[in-house]
Amino acid sequence: MTIRNWFKFFLNALLIGGGITGVVGLIVRWNDTFYPFIQNGEFGEFIAAFLWMVFLGFTMSVVAQMGFFAYLTVHQFGVNLFRSLTLWNWVQMLLIVVVLFDLVFFRFDLSAADTGRTALYLSLLMLLLAVPAITAWLKVKMTGKKHILISSLFFMIVITTLEWLPALMVRSGNIDQWVTILLFPLLAVNMYQLLMLPKYNAKSEEDLKKRQARREARKQQESAANGKSKKRTAH
């Protein structure tokens, strides 16, 4: 990927993360943070709190991008290690099951006594399954490669969960709100990266071909100019 296309890719992912976090944070924290600012006429504080949410989204976007490029390395390593894409896909499926089991039974810390919290985390789980399923389906449809389904699910579920894990490990404060807010930018940015990377790679290849064509044309012009110069000198 060329530097210019990488910068566009990075910037768009950054804006998606910031925008999604700003909107979701505004909704989730409306009652206890944003509405009191409006009620008290503290519009500067309202804007500052919203911008802080956007900045948090930028941070989560960077985390997601680091996770994505790390996964590309892990994926290639897995294929080389198991010497078979089919076997590597089975390993990825097993890891998906293990991560989901760990998430539900250990990270969510659900309690039958707290039905509201249980409903929230089950809803987040459904979101964590639905978005990857849609993303993987779109990826297969875009590429026409059915074997990429498992890899797409693995990235969207396992890598997103690992990126989400620091928030899940906190047990104090309004952690349920932050867990909810942070899941959305991670899923959105990861979905964008998985679906749009081939487009930027193709655009980079096209730009490199155009650059090479310009170099060849320049060389031909210089060669023609040198030839004319030699002829004039000979005369």
Per-residue model confidence (pLDDT) at position 204: 79
Residue range 126-135: mean pLDDT, rounded: 96
Percent with pLDDT over 90 in the chain: 62
Which tops the pLDDT comparison, 172 or 28? Answer: 28
Give the confidence band of 231 by pLDDT, cuts at 50, 70, 90: low
**What's the CA gap between 186 and 128, in Å, rounded?**
10
Looking at the predicted structure, is the pLDDT value of residue 234 above 60?
no
pTM across the whole model: 0.88
Query: Which residue type sits at 25?
Result: G
Looking at the predicted structure, is the pLDDT value of residue 215 above 80?
no
Query: Which residue type sits at 197?
Result: L
Per-residue model confidence (pLDDT) at position 224: 63
Per-residue model confidence (pLDDT) at position 225: 62
Looking at the predicted structure, is the pLDDT value of residue 222 above 70?
no
Give the confidence band of 232 by pLDDT, cuts at 50, 70, 90: low
List the structure tokens of 208: 């490199």
Asked if 162 and 186 count as a contact pair (C-beta separation under 8 A), the reply is no
Per-residue model confidence (pLDDT) at position 209: 74
Alpha-carbon dihedral angle through residues 111, 114, 120, 125, given to the nearest 10 degrees: 10
Per-residue model confidence (pLDDT) at position 123: 94
Asked if 17 and 58 count as a contact pair (C-beta separation under 8 A), the reply is yes
Looking at the predicted structure, is the pLDDT value of residue 99 above 80?
yes
Query: CA-CA distances (angstroms) from residue 140 to 21, 146, 183, 184?
Result: 28, 6, 24, 23
**What's the CA gap between 135 and 158, in Å, rounded?**
14
Residue of 124, 131, 129, 146 lying closest to 191 (CA atoms): 131
* Least confident segment among 14-28, 32-46, 196-210, 213-227: 213-227
Residue range 218-231: mean pLDDT, rounded: 65
List the structure tokens of 175: 């952690």
Exposed / middle / buried, residue 49 (Cβ in 10 Å: 0-12, 13-18, 19+): middle
Per-residue model confidence (pLDDT) at position 87: 92
pLDDT in tens, 179-204: 999 999 999 999 999 999 989 888 87
Give the confidence band of 214 by pLDDT, cuts at 50, 70, 90: confident
Strand intervals (E) in the chain: none
Exposed / middle / buried, residue 121 (Cβ in 10 Å: 0-12, 13-18, 19+): buried
Percent with pLDDT over 70 in the chain: 93
Positive/negative CA dihedral, 170, 175, 163, 133 = positive
* Least confident segment among 122-126, 133-137, 169-173: 169-173
Looking at the predicted structure, is the pLDDT value of residue 27 above 60?
yes
Average predicted confidence (pLDDT) for the chain: 89
Looking at the predicted structure, is the pLDDT value of residue 235 above 60?
no
**What's the CA gap between 150 and 82, in Å, rounded?**
15
Per-residue model confidence (pLDDT) at position 223: 67
